Chains A and B, each alone.
Chain A
Amino acid sequence: MLELKFIGRGGLGAKSAGEILSFVAAEEGFYVQAFPEYGAERMGAPVKSFVRISDKPIYVHSYVTNPDVVVLLDKTLMHAFDVTEGMNENSVLIVNSESCDFKDKLNPNFKGKIYFVDASGISLRTIGKNFPNTPMLGSVAKVFDIFPVRLINKFVEEKFEKKLNPESVEKNKQAVLEAYKETKLC
């Protein structure tokens, strides 16, 4: 079972990103589960969402406590709590950042792999607003080839075609592709 955690702030799209990833895995025949940790949601407040992917039916309904992957949509949250909590040396952290300058802010015990991509920059460039969730999905695709970019963009389109105009949907898909190309290992 692959367990992922998205960490962001209310309004950045952690919940939608998790759902899109679950749709991709379901399309490929996996059993999936995607759910947010609900508090009293406010724009800007810390938000987590979780995804489970398995080749067998998923029974467990508690929060993900030992994530294989953490996708951090806002690196300032590193100051608020340990974003690597529950991770081990095989876990992967993907951070929305222009560089690896955040590394000394992380828990020094974290020994897993760290990737970064300037998802906010890409989002501002392509979409025109800070929605790092869709570009971060491109990064996940880069790191895990079980999530093909083509399928991610199929479900980005399905998820947003009712909410956004066709032009904005295309920009989101463009952001996914750019982040896929620009994701680097720290």
Chain B
Amino acid sequence: MTSMLKNRKVLSGAHAAAEAMRQIDPDVVAVYPITPQTPIAMKFADYVNEGKVHTEMIRVESEHSAMSACVGSSAAGARTMTATSSNGLALMTEIVYIASSTRLPIVMNLADRALSGPINIHGDHSDAMLVRDSGWIILASENAQDVYENTIMAVKIAEDKRVLLPVMILQDGFITSHSAETMYTFDDETVKKFVGEYNPKYSLLRTDNPITMGPLDLFDYYFEHKRQQVEAMDNAKKVIKEVFSNFSKLTGKTYNYFEGYKTEDADFIIVAMNSSVGTAKFVADKFREKGVKAGVLKIRVFRPFMDEEVVEKLKNAKAVAVLDRAASFGSHGGPIFHDVRSAFYESDKKPKMLNYIYGLGGRELSVELLNKVFNDLIEFDGGKSMNQVQYLGVRD
């Protein structure tokens, strides 16, 4: 099948996000700069300045205001996008929850960066985990190509009338956002046609159908509205699959909640999210050369989390390592480990499972460290006793 991804480019993850945004040509972008997100906003500002998009760009005084402006514009019926990182996301979190509970299909790129403190500018997933339960759909990106494709798909997922939820696209700060790599883009027309014209179901500006958004909602209806939000996230499970399937027709690739790399016959599997997936694939190939059946499971959709699919993809492995680039203080292991392990509770087949907390504050995930993970899995399967939760690459 021929792919419509015809234009070969060398772009950073940040510029891949900006390129997708240029082609989507949203009505409103409200954004405040923060490292390592800044090159997304800077590049998009260039497009606005050069007249390459019709977007009204709102330069706000903080991330709290950025998300507030997004809520306002999305409620008015405008296709709305933004981007942030780390403490910027922390500052906007109050409004992040309001965006999802008001059912506003805002699309936001997040260049993942460690939350303070101590202050740090580098990539880890503590910012994404801060808003894990905010009711946003969360897509993860291995590389610049994924950032580009996820951003385009996000618009269709968010705006689907059965969903109407905001979508966040993750990419690792610096490792992806500032790394230039070979990738392929669509022609502008292809993206324009795929995302289509935005016809909002509700708009505050539509005087023929006046509505109220964001009123006080006490014990009379708050619970029902939250229940509907849960329902919308459940609906998203089906809609995301439809969007994946439609997008496949443009790219010739297959998309899933969890994408296996050599997992079908694998004895030992690493589960990872964002850029570490790529490094794990590289290491899995080296183990394959040595005759070890190694594989990698990439998380493309973190929320909603599709339990059945993760079980299906991992159940035949002998041992699995779940990598978490965030800590969950006071609980057993990291957030992704909680999800994967919990998904297996009802399953008859359960692989042995280890959890590795790694890469906090941008600590390098080297090939050597991932060699250790696969070697650990082999030894663990062979009967060696091990701590179920380990810290990879830390000075102990």
Contacts and interface: CB of A to CB of B under 8 A. Distances in A.
Interface of A: 19, 22-23, 26, 30-36, 38, 40, 57-63, 65
Nearest to B280: A59
B72 interface: no
24 contacts: A23-B10, A26-B8, A31-B181, A32-B180, A32-B181, A33-B180, A34-B10, A34-B179, A34-B180, A35-B178, A38-B121, A38-B174, A40-B121, A57-B182, A58-B278, A59-B281, A60-B367, A61-B175, A61-B176, A61-B275, A61-B278, A62-B365, A62-B366, A65-B366
* Best-buried of A22, A33, A58, A63 by chain B (most CB within 10 Å): A33
B111 to A, nearest CB: 12
B229 interface: no
A19 B122 CA distance: 21
Contacts, number: 66
* Best-buried of A30, A32, A38, A59 by chain B (most CB within 10 Å): A59
Contacts of B172: 61
Nearest to B370: A62
A27 to B, nearest CB: 9
Contacts of A22: 10, 180
B364 interface: yes
B223 interface: no
Interface in B1-56: 8, 10
A120 to B, nearest CB: 26
A24 to B, nearest CB: 10
| Pairs A-B, 8 closest by C-beta atoms | A35-B179, A60-B282, A59-B278, A59-B281, A61-B275, A59-B282, A33-B181, A34-B180
B366 A59 contact: no
A125 to B, nearest CB: 30
Contacts of A40: 121
Interface in B363-389: 364-367
B93 interface: no
Contacts of B176: 61
B339 to A, nearest CB: 23
A83 B174 CA distance: 23
B279 interface: yes
B366 A63 contact: yes
B276 interface: yes
Contact of A61 (B8, B279, B285): B279
A62 B121 CA distance: 17
Interface string B277-297: 011011001000000000000
A32 B281 CA distance: 17
Contact of B367 (A19, A38, A57, A62): A62
B178 A36 contact: yes
Contact of A62 (B178, B182, B279): B279
A122 B176 CA distance: 35
A7 B367 CA distance: 21
Interface in B70-106: none
B180 A19 contact: yes
A22 B179 CA distance: 11
A60 B122 CA distance: 18
Nearest to A65: B366
A35 B364 CA distance: 14
Contacts of B367: 60, 62, 65
Interface in B339-395: 364-367
B366 A26 contact: no
A36 B175 CA distance: 9
A112 to B, nearest CB: 21
A37 to B, nearest CB: 9
Contact of A63 (B8, B178, B180, B364): B364
Given A35-B179, A59-B279, A61-B278, 9 more contacts: A23-B10, A31-B181, A33-B179, A38-B174, A59-B278, A60-B279, A61-B143, A62-B364, A65-B367
